[in-house]
Amino acid sequence: MSVLYVHAGDDSATYRALFARELPEVPCVAFPEPAPTDATTFVACWNPPPGFFAPLVALRAVFALGAGVDRLLARADLPSAVPIVRLLDAGMADQMVEYALLGVLMRQRQVVEYRVQQAGSEWRRHPSLARADLRVGVLGLGEMGGAVARALARFGYAVAGWSRSPKAIDGVAVHHGDPALEGVLARSDVLVNTLPSTPATRGLLDAARLARLPRDAFVVNASRGDQLDADALRRLLDDGHLSGALLDVFAVEPLPPDDPLWRHPKVTITPHVAATTLPQPSVRQVADGIRRMLRGEAAAGRVDRSRGY
Ligand code: NAP
Ligand code: GLV
C-alpha cells in the first residue's frame, strides 16, 4: 500500500483535506499525526524538522511544496537515491512577475529617491525614464525567470536574460554560460535574480560582480539569500553606486532584528513572499506526479541532483 505523508507546517491539515479530494486513491496522513513509517511511500513537504526522513524506510519520492529544493538537497536524513520532485510554476510564476515588476517600477519611477526626499520634505523632480530605455537583466530563465523576462519584455522594457543553457524568448536578449554573465550585469539598470541556489550560484553576486552593475542600478533578489553578498550590497548602496534594492530572501531567515538591512533607507524588505505556494494548484500537481509514478512513469519536475536544481 502507498501512503502519502504531508508536512506543511501549520497548513498540514489544509493540505491533507485537499489531497483527500484530489488523490482519494492514496491514503494521506498529515503532520502532527505520526508518519506510518513502513507504509509512507510519498512525502509532500516544505522544510520538515531534522531527522524527519530517517524512519521512512519505504520512501519512493519526496515532493517539494515549493520551487527551490536547496534545503532538501542539503539534508543528511534524505538518501540520495530518493527522487525529489519540485513544483513547476503552480501559480508562483505570476506572483514572481508581479514582484519583479514592483522592483522595476521602483527603479523606473525613482521610488527610493522620492522616499528619501519625502523624509526631508524635499519637493524635487527627477527626469522621467521611458520603459524602452530601462535595461532589465534577469538571472535564471526557468519557470520563474522565464515568465519574468517574457512579461517585462512584453511590457516594453529592454530585457536581457541569463541561463545555463541556450534558449530563445521573444523580445529578450538571451545569454548563457559563465562568460556571458559579466556582460549581462554591465547592462542591467535593474537586476532580477531568480537563480536556484546551487554550488554554482551560491555567492555568485559577490562584491566584484555587484560592482559591474551600472551606476544607479537597482537589485531585486527573489531567489535565495546565499547568492548575494549583502554587506557588499550595502556598501555599494552607501557609496551611491547602487540606487536601491528589493530583497525577499536572506542568508539567514527570518532576517535577524539587528541586521542593518532592516534600517537601510534604500532597501525594501519582504519576508520571503515573492511567490508563495498556492495549495490548490500545488496539490493538483503533486497528485498528478504521484499518479504518474504509480503507473511507472516519471513525475514532471524531477530534480537533477548533479545540477543541484
Ligand atoms: P528553474 O525552472 O529550475 O529555473 C532555473 C533557471 O536558472 C534555469 O533557467 C537555469 O538554466 C538557470 N540556472 C541554474 N543554474 C545556473 C547557472 N549556474 N548559471 C546560469 N543559469 C543557471 O527554477 P524556478 O522554478 O524558476 O525557480 C528558481 C528559484 O526561484 C528557486 O530555486 C527558488 O530559489 C526561487 N523561488 C523563490 C520564491 C520566493 O518566494 N522568493 C518562490 C519561488 C521560487 P537552464 O534553463 O539552462 O537550466
Ligand atoms: C520558495 O522560495 C520556493 O522555492 O518555492
What are the pLDDT digits (tens) for 98-145? 999 999 999 999 999 999 999 999 999 999 999 999 999 999 999 999
**Ligand 2 geometric centre to CA of 286 (Å):** 15
Q: Residue holding cell 536524513?
A: 77
Domain ranges of the chain: 3-90+278-294, 92-269
Is residue 162 very low, low, confident or very high in pLDDT (cuts 50, 70, 90)? very high
Counting from 1 in the atom list of ligand 2, the atom nearest the Cα of 277 is: 5
At the fourth CATH level, which superfamily is domain 92-269? NAD(P)-binding Rossmann-like Domain (3.40.50.720)
Q: What is the per-residue pLDDT for 275?
A: 98
Share of the chain above pLDDT 70, in %: 100
Find the mean pLDDT for residues 292-298.
97
- Topology agreement, domain 3-90+278-294 and domain 92-269: yes
Q: What is the per-residue pLDDT for 22?
A: 98
Q: Report which secondary-structure segment, H or E, holds 146.
A: helix 143-154
Q: What is the per-residue pLDDT for 231?
A: 98
- What lines the ligand 2 site, CB under 6 Å? 66-68, 277
Q: What is the per-residue pLDDT for 183?
A: 98
8-52 tens-digit pLDDT: 999 999 999 999 999 999 999 999 999 999 999 999 999 999 999
231-281 tens-digit pLDDT: 999 999 999 999 999 999 999 999 999 999 999 999 999 999 999 999 999
Q: Residue 58's closest CA among 78, 77, 42? A: 42
- Amino acid letter, residue 22: E
The 8-class DSSP code of residue 302 comes to B
Distance CA 185, CA 163 (A): 13
Q: Whose CA is nearest to atom 4 of ligand 2?
A: 68
Q: Whose CA is nearest to atom 35 of ligand 1?
A: 223
The 8-class DSSP code of residue 48 comes to P
Cβ(218)–Cβ(247) under 8 Å?
Answer: no
**Ligand 2 geometric centre to CA of 201 (Å):** 16
Strand partners, 139: 162, 193
User: Which of 65, 164, 178 for mutating ligand 1's site (highest number of atoms within 8 Å of CB)?
Assistant: 164
Instruction: Choose which CATH entry (3.40.50.150, 3.40.50.720, 3.40.630.30, 3.40.640.10) describes domain 3-90+278-294.
Output: 3.40.50.720
Find the mean pLDDT for residues 193-206.
98
Collapsing DSSP states into helix, strand and coil, what is residue 221?
strand
Q: Is the pLDDT of residue 1 over 90?
A: no
**Ligand 1 geometric centre to CA of 217 (Å):** 22
